[in-house]
Amino acid sequence: SLGFHNGEFIALDQKIIPIDERGHQFGDGVYELIKVYKGAPFMMREHLVRLEKSAKAIRLQLNYSIDQLEAIIADGLHRAGLAGQDAEVYIQSTRGIATRLHTFPNVEASTTMTFRPARVIPAELRERGVAITLAVDERWANCYIKSLNLLPNILAKQAAVDNGYYEAVFFRDGYITEGSSTNVYAVKDGTLYTPPATKRILHGITRHAVLRLARELNIPVVEEEFTPDFLSSGDEIFISSTTIEVLPVTTIEGQPVGNGQPGPITRRLYDAVIADAT
């Protein structure tokens, strides 16, 4: 494992960010998490384009170009001894280091990264599927921005885990939005349903891959709002993210989904994502 801070590779535990830093004082920044398969970062360009979009949405000028970030990632993986390995790259850009004031400081953005071996999702979770609970979406109106402000997400996730669930899936104004750190899907009568890519959800990179692969597999795709009841009535439910890829959901609020087993379309899409990434 290795860290990076504005041009320097450093040990992960090296103390380097001063107290007056916008990321930890205000959450004034954006981030990305990229998964690396046998040394090859999956959809890296798409992640870095989204980082730029998130930055632009908060009026932050990144201190590296996409090409520079790509070069740093390749270098970092190599230096971390992760060349050819499964890894995770976390990138965070903030409005930099300046005396605490709400107004924007006149300083450069600050970018840090971590390079770590990939977390492994236990095979048992994939085989049995996971349990989800529903939670009121109390987040702001711009969830398409991958901002550092994750307090509602971590509170919902912790409450879910405390109650024996794997993930909390949010609903707002009667409609499902997304999970605390995942996008969510229902399969019904062979059709794949997922909420549309509005400002209310993160436009997941894995979501993008899932929908592309579903279309290639001739699975009909519907990107429309749906209710918690509709989700519960799905023959299959699954969640997606960079870390979990595609993970079957087999209970929702303690009730079995379909026959209670991971479903065939979920499995096909998982296999397709892994084949695409490797």
Contact residues toward ligand PDD (CB under 6 A) are: 33, 153, 178, 181-183, 202, 204-207, 240-243
Q: Is 26 left (phi over 0), alpha (psi -120 to 50) or beta?
A: alpha
Cβ-based neighbour number of residue 25 at 10 Å: 14
Specify the long-range contacts of residues 248-252, CB closer than 8 Å, at least 24 apart: 248/126, 248/129, 248/130, 249/129, 249/130, 249/131, 249/132, 249/167, 250/128, 250/129, 250/130, 250/131, 251/129, 251/131, 251/132, 252/131, 252/132, 252/133, 252/134, 252/169
Q: Report the DSSP pairing between strands 130-136 and 245-252.
A: parallel
> Which of 35, 38, 146, 188 does the annotation list as catalytic?
146
Residue 33 CB, nearest approach to ligand PDD (Å): 4
User: CA triplet 33, 35, 37: central angle to 5 degrees?
Assistant: 170
The verdict on whether 146 is a catalytic residue reads: yes
Residue 80 CB, nearest approach to ligand PDD (Å): 19
Cβ closer to ligand PDD: 172 or 207? 207
Cβ closer to ligand PDD: 112 or 242? 242
Residue 149 CB, nearest approach to ligand PDD (Å): 11
Cβ closer to ligand PDD: 111 or 181? 181
Cβ closer to ligand PDD: 210 or 265? 210
Residue 66 CB, nearest approach to ligand PDD (Å): 16
Three-class secondary structure of residue 269 per DSSP: helix
Q: Give residue for tokens 């320097």.
A: 8
Residue 35 CB, nearest approach to ligand PDD (Å): 8
Contact status, residue 132 vs residue 239, Cβ threshold 8 Å? yes
Cβ closer to ligand PDD: 96 or 204? 204
Residues acting as catalytic residues = 146
